[in-house]
Amino acid sequence: MTNQFVWVSWNRHKKIYDAVLAAACALYLLCFVVGSFVFFDDRPDVMVMLIHATGTLAIILLHVILCIGPLNRLSHRFAPLLYNRRHLGVTMFLVALTHAGLVLLYYGGFGVVGPIHAVLFEGRSLTRLDAFPYELLGFAGLLVLFVMAATSHDFWLDTLSPRAWKGIHMAVYPAYGLLVAHVALGSLFDADGLIGRVLLAVGVAVVVTLHLTAGVRELICDASCWRPMPEEGNEKSGTGEWIEAGTVDDIPERGGRVVCLDGRERIAVFCYDGKVSAISNVCAHQNGPLGEGRIIDGCVTCPWHGYQYLPHNGQSPPPYHEKVPTYRVRVVNRTILLDPRPLPPGTPVEPAFFEAGPDDESLFEESGPLSDDSGPPPVAPHPPTSLSEGDE
């Protein structure tokens, strides 16, 4: 949450995460170096060994990064990995950059032509497989990773807008394709390349399978909580068409439920302290699923990075500025009714109240915009019934 930018918002979890990550990388490099001396008869060239060590480490880290997202969709036990994924991404880029730097130095340094020309273009041809400049694929992938690493700070999220930022960071998939092609083609020129190609194929299969599994599960989940979007002009009550969003008993106390509308719009409905509120399911930070979060300290807390929003107005608590759209809700006999039309981000909406007992038939509570000065002005009332009927 942005108030004043610092270079890294350290906390205990991030320190442990980074320490484990650094130790794992160091251990991998050490094992690779020791293994190269132990298992290969020919004493390997130290530079070539380091080039292979950093290259394989970078591609392994990239696979881990790509697996974290779908794993987290399948089980929230993986949420701690997601929490600090940006540090993992920057680490992967730095390892890949080291790999590229060593390649340029070893194969292109100290020559009569520039290292980039020597490595990427000298004696290369696009029409011959044995002379194909597979390094160009790696270079292009590295450029994409550079843009992603360079814009990983929340300053860029704020400056470029969350939508543009997310778009930039979705480029990890084209980069992955380029880097897989780089490694696969590069291993053709390696005497021991078969092992590398098999491991790469396993890695690609794991990434693809996890993404497909998570995607299918998401579709099934959406279908189970899907609600048809009311048609425009079909307003019978003067307050819009309301849709059912389950009962208050379906939602754990201080927990949420996701309702999926036509057009894949998702709404997060929360129950807390005998009240029901609804906000957009999409976190303003990185599109995290707010409906899968919980209410902590009175705020809806995103399960991905802990961004918080007050449930009745979709605003981050002061001094933060993030806002998400809100929705009007009613509770009728413990059934939650939802007006699916989003209100402007940060619009205060009175929560709907419900009693603890299930037998209170007199309950009919409705939420509506509050007469609150904070954030955007409350929405104008919907057209009265008579007007709607007159129009028809």
Partner 1 sequence: MLVVMERIIWGIGVYLAVGVVFAAAFVAAGVGRVSPAARGSGWGFRLLIIPGTAIFWPLLAARWARPVIEPEESPPPVEPADEWVDPEKETAA
Binding residues for partner 1, rule: CB under 8 A, are 2-8, 116-117, 120-121, 124-126, 133, 136, 139, 143, 146-147, 149-151, 153, 155-156, 158-160, 238-239, 310, 312-313, 315, 317-319, 321, 346, 348, 350, 366, 368-375, 380-382, 384
Q: How far is the CB of 290 from partner 1 (least distance, A)?
A: 18
Contact by Cβ (8 Å): 179, 62: yes
Give the residue with the Cβ less far from partner 1, 5 or 37.
Answer: 5
Check if the beta carbon of residue 304 is closer than 8 Å to that of residue 283.
yes
Q: Min. distance of Cβ 269 from partner 1 in angstroms?
A: 19
* Cα atoms found within 13 Å of the Cα of residue 354, Cβ hemisphere only: 25
Tell me 354's DSSP state: -
Structure tokens at 280: 């957009």
Alpha carbon of residue 324 to chain centroid:
17
Q: Give residue 358's identity as a one-letter amino acid code.
A: P
> What is the sign of the dihedral through the CA atoms of 93, 95, 100 and 104?
positive
d(CA 40, CA 44): 8
User: To the nearest whole angstrom, how small is the minimum distance from the Cβ of residue 1 to partner 1?
Assistant: 10
Q: Which tokens go with 240?
A: 């819009």
Q: In whole angstroms, how close is the CB of 351 to partner 1 at the nearest point?
A: 9
Q: Which is nearer to partner 1, 117 or 217 (CB)?
A: 117
CA distances 192 to 52, 96, 142, 177, 198, Å, are 12, 21, 24, 22, 11
Minimum Å gap between C-beta 323 and partner 1 is 9
Give least dist CB 211 to partner 1, A: 28
DSSP 55-99: HHHHHHHHHHHHHHHHHHHH-GGGHHHHHTHHHHHHHHHHHHHHH
264 token code pair: 């894949």
* Least separation in angstroms between CB 314 and partner 1: 11
- Name which of 85 and 312 has its Cβ closer to partner 1: 312
Min CB(121)–partner 1 separation in Å? 5
**Residue with smaller CB distance to partner 1, 289 or 369:** 369
CB of 203 to partner 1, least distance (A): 28
Which is closer to partner 1, CB of 203 or CB of 240? Answer: 240
The tokens of 75 are what?
């089980």
Q: Considering the complex, state which of residue 155 and residue 173 has its C-beta at the smaller distance from partner 1.
A: 155
**CB-nearer residue toward partner 1: 142 or 210:** 142
Give me the least distance between CB of 305 and partner 1, in Å please: 17
Q: Which is nearer to partner 1, 203 or 375 (CB)?
A: 375
- How far CA 32 is from CA of 50, 56, 188, 194, 380, in Å, comes to 9, 10, 20, 17, 66
Q: Specify the DSSP element, H or E, that contains 166.
A: helix 162-169
For 72-81, b/e burial (b = at least 16 CB within 10 A) is bbeeeebeeb
The nearer residue to partner 1, 36 or 277, going by C-beta atoms, is: 277
Nearer to partner 1, 258 or 363 (CB): 363
Angle, CA 34 vertex, CA 192 and CA 47 arms, to 5°? 65
